[in-house]
Structure 1
Amino acid sequence: MTANRLTIGVDGYNMALPGGTGVASYGRALCRAIRGLGHGLDLIYGVSVPSSTPPEMRETQFYSALGHALALGEKPRMTMKRRLVRAMLLPKVRRPLAVPIEGRVNASHFANAVPPADRLFTRSGLFDTAVKHFRRYGRPLRLRIPDPPAIMHWTYPVPVELEGSANIYTMHDIVPLVMPYASLEDKRYYADVLRWQIENAAGVCTVSEASAADITRMFGLAPDRVVNLYQAADMADARPDEDQAHLAQWLDTIFDLERDGYFLFAGAIEPKKNVGRLIEAYLQSGVETPLVIVGREGWRAEAELRLLRGGAGTVLKGASRIRRVDYLPRAALMRLVHGARGVFFPSLYEGFGLPVLEAMTLGRPVMTTNVSSLPEVAGDGALLVDPYDVDAMAAAIRRMDGDSALRQSLGALGRSRSDIFSAARFEQRIDAYYRHVLEGKGRK
């Protein structure tokens, strides 16, 4: 436990989303690190709980609303009340509702969405309102809570700030600006929010040297304005010491798969993840080991999956060896990673590349790409390929499939490499940075 206990605030923006995101994993790991350091933890959500709710019912209402939280990208139904609120959106300070943590609700189902904390706050429609507020007034929505934490750490560049706290924002990457054709975000709005935070926040951090360099270059900053803290893998749901016979039985019973008998890709089906070229490379490789693709279909998924769907009623040769799973709970996904022959992550761009770290932590061999942050994370613990070179990717798949010594070596190197991103080192980095910010050194 740290000698000088602080209270740190963290937002629940991504953690509350059903299905999970990489930023949600980051948020959970951050909360775990804060608690591990012995600091107090406040959580702020945008879950809808009416302000008239009596204190003894707020915990119940919070988890009821959380169970109906919108998926990423979904829009709330536009009721007459919402239309009036939007029309009367005033630049005033909002006061989130305190939700007493009394243990009256069996919240085990939401353990990943709401980490253990000292205080819990929510403001109905907070993040949707904040976006509209920034578009109208060009500045973040301000919040006020009693006894604010020393630091409010926003895990994503949301246009919100907390009064009385040193506000820190994590910018994981700037994909909408460096690969504008690969996302649907409003690029001008996105750039304006980041620019405001860079110019006004107590601190701006990111998760890799590659992302720090991109942000610095894009906005013409001094090199020390954006600080790289890396991140830790959220492995709370993993079972690294699971009996291999038990894991094999689980894989066979649930998925009809053999341990060490399939390759795995896990991530959103969207252009940035490069799933289309992975499928092409896998089919071209001619390997018999099945490929399991776990991930929900996102923007332009149809184009990424075109080779699986064939044409004119036909199915391409080899496509039957590729299996699709829409979504898995995190614990099941980690077991699927643990049992894989190898993990493929052929992304065109990443701010960090969490699936690479998760696979390496579990000692699984990885094939990833030689762009953005991925070589920085993988080091010598993965096969690196050009994400646009299908032939090179196919050759790497054949090599990993046929060379057990290579797989064993990559697994060992990856596990060793993952120590750089351990929970203990992450704790040290964020604690030093928080104190750096509180000393007034976060802004240069």
Structure 2
Amino acid sequence: MFVKSSFRIGLDGFNLSLEKGTGVATYARTLSRALSGLGCPVDALFGLNIPTGSIPTLREVRFFDKLVTSGRPKSPAVFSKRWFRERKADLLPPKSIEIPITGRVDSRSFSERLPAFDRIFNVDDLFRRAARHFRQTGKFTAVRMENPPDIMHWTYPFPIEVEGAANIYTLHDVVPLRLPHTTLDDKAYYFRLLQTVGTRASGVCTVSEASKADILSFFPGMASRLHNTYQACDTDRPAFHRPDSECLAEIQADFGLSRHSYFIFFGSLEPKKNIGRVIEAFLASRSSRKLILVGAMAWKSDRELRYLEHGISTGRIMMIDYLPERTLFSLLRQARALLFPSLSEGFGLPVIEAMHCGVPVLTSREGALPEVGGDATLHTEAYDVDAITSAIQQLDQDDSLCEQLVAKGYQQVRKFDMASYQKRLIEMYRSVLSTTSTV
């Protein structure tokens, strides 16, 4: 089959529409910029609550209005007007509308959240409708788009497909199945969804050899269509290029912190991140430095966070719910080290980001962390508090070790640069299109 030298790619906007973002949102933005850099036109498909019948003049206004208030709405009361509207919508095939980006709306406040794109589309309440439809019927929701992309690359497993496109789904990991006690996912729904993805997808993308092995352990039938592209760190972002003096002045003014006076963790505060043991080990290390935790509480666990309040009350731990990217990276660049001994990571992008910033990293030997960090991180045992304590003490006291890790980190990140990522993406897309009859 003839395969184009360049393709139009569609990406979903589910995580991009969340105000505080997620690791998957960062993945989607980096993917969009990688594709744009390759000269591939990019369509972004959102699922905001914008009525299909909206006149074109108002679509752009409503799109940016909903990006501010894009939190997941509560389910309507049974038999309410909204409930009946949703039931009626469930009976109709979803219709996408293009959002004209004319520049009449000042969108500069959203520059960090939006992907690189050529066109933006929206389907009213797409992701919630599709999940509901899959729960009820076990079937995927089919979306029609005018001039559909050659490939629709879903950045997460959604029960949706775009008609006329090769549909690829990224599975970052299978943590809800491998470590079920660490997530609140409906495991039966998740398993059934991945089973269906495995049979319907034109291709499945993952981000490490560790994740690939975990996926195949549950779904061996995916072997012929499963591709590992790894990830990349988009170092063209402004946060990577601010002067060091400017970053230091910002954290001194905002947080009263000085260079190397603290360790840092950033990401969702959830059990798979091993936060409970990190906090316990840090407090036991007796370090005079602080521990800065940046991230939203994904879900509370008394067992995981039993020492958190003590650490905060004694001034040894500072917890920050959310920071804009520029401030987060100011904190990261001045940290003594990143503490990241997770129980499982599909990739572990914070490790690469810290290395790019010249910050030593502590990781576990779990998931993808050994292959992503290589010998450029200090490894410890994820389930051993004493081992984590000892590793923190090494980073706290050994300047020479930290300098060695920084030097090795600069070498390690070259394996995950944008050019390498783009090459792996193109190889996957060519492979998928060569065996797909829709293109």
Q: TM-score range by the shorter chain?
A: over 0.9
Deviation at 1:225, TM superposition (A): 2.9
* Alpha-carbon separation, structure 2, partners of 1:221 and 1:243: 50
Tell me the equivalent position of 1:281.
281
**Matching of residue 5 in structure 1 with residue 16 in structure 2:** no
**Matching of residue 338 in structure 1 with residue 323 in structure 2:** no
* 1:176–1:187 contact (8 Å) kept in structure 2: yes
What are the residue-to-residue correspondences of 1:2-401 with 2, within 5 Å? Answer: 4-70=5-71, 75=74, 78=77, 80-88=80-88, 90=90, 92-221=92-221, 223-310=223-310, 319-401=314-396
* Alpha-carbon separation, structure 2, partners of 1:240 and 1:300: 32
**Matching of residue 419 in structure 1 with residue 407 in structure 2:** no
* Alpha-carbon separation, structure 1, partners of 2:77 and 2:65: 20
Matched letter for residue 358 of structure 1: E
Matched letter for residue 380 of structure 2: V
* Alpha-carbon separation, structure 1, partners of 2:414 and 2:81: 51
* Alpha-carbon separation, structure 1, partners of 2:380 and 2:77: 46
Matched letter for residue 187 of structure 1: K
Q: Secondary structure at the match of 1:221?
A: helix
CA change 1:277–1:238 in 2 (3 A) is: farther
Matched letter for residue 114 of structure 1: L
* Alpha-carbon separation, structure 1, partners of 2:241 and 2:108: 23
Q: Which moved more, 1:273-282 or 1:235-244?
A: 235-244
* Alpha-carbon separation, structure 2, partners of 1:54 and 1:100: 11
Residue deviations 1:147-205 (CA, integer Å, cap 9, x gap): 10000000000111000000000000111111111111111111111111111111001
Matched letter for residue 323 of structure 1: M
Residue deviations 1:130-151 (CA, integer Å, cap 9, x gap): 0011111211111001110000
* 1:361–1:418 contact (8 Å) kept in structure 2: yes
Q: Secondary structure at the match of 2:315?
A: helix
CA change 1:363–1:395 in 2 (3 A) is: same
CA change 1:47–1:89 in 2 (3 A) is: closer
Residue deviations 1:74-133 (CA, integer Å, cap 9, x gap): 645558243114434646531111111211111111123322311111112110000011
* 2:248–2:330 contact (8 Å) kept in structure 1: no
Count of paired positions = 435
* 1:237–1:334 contact (8 Å) kept in structure 2: no
Matched letter for residue 53 of structure 2: S
Q: Which moved more, 1:3-12 or 1:425-434?
A: 3-12
Q: Secondary structure at the match of 1:205?
A: strand
* 1:345–1:366 contact (8 Å) kept in structure 2: yes
Matched letter for residue 58 of structure 1: R
CA change 1:32–1:78 in 2 (3 A) is: farther
* 1:259–1:339 contact (8 Å) kept in structure 2: yes
The percentage of counterpart residues that share the same residue type is: 42
Q: Secondary structure at the match of 2:303?
A: helix
Q: CA RMSD in A?
A: 2.1
TM-score (norm 1): 0.93
**Matching of residue 428 in structure 1 with residue 413 in structure 2:** no
Matched letter for residue 198 of structure 1: G
* Structure 2 stretches lacking a partner, 5+ long: none
* 1:238–1:335 contact (8 Å) kept in structure 2: no
Deviation at 1:28, TM superposition (A): 0.2
* Alpha-carbon separation, structure 2, partners of 1:306 and 1:394: 17
Q: Which moved more, 1:43-52 or 1:204-213?
A: 43-52
CA change 1:137–1:319 in 2 (3 A) is: same
Matched letter for residue 6 of structure 1: F
**Matching of residue 405 in structure 1 with residue 413 in structure 2:** no
Q: Which moved more, 1:260-269 or 1:92-101?
A: 92-101
Deviation at 1:361, TM superposition (A): 1.6
Deviation at 1:220, TM superposition (A): 2.4
* Alpha-carbon separation, structure 2, partners of 1:292 and 1:42: 38
Deviation at 1:261, TM superposition (A): 1.8
Q: Secondary structure at the match of 1:401?
A: helix
* 2:76–2:83 contact (8 Å) kept in structure 1: no
Q: Secondary structure at the match of 2:161?
A: strand
* 1:12–1:113 contact (8 Å) kept in structure 2: no
Residue deviations 1:338-373 (CA, integer Å, cap 9, x gap): 111100012111111111111112121000110111
Q: Secondary structure at the match of 1:26?
A: helix
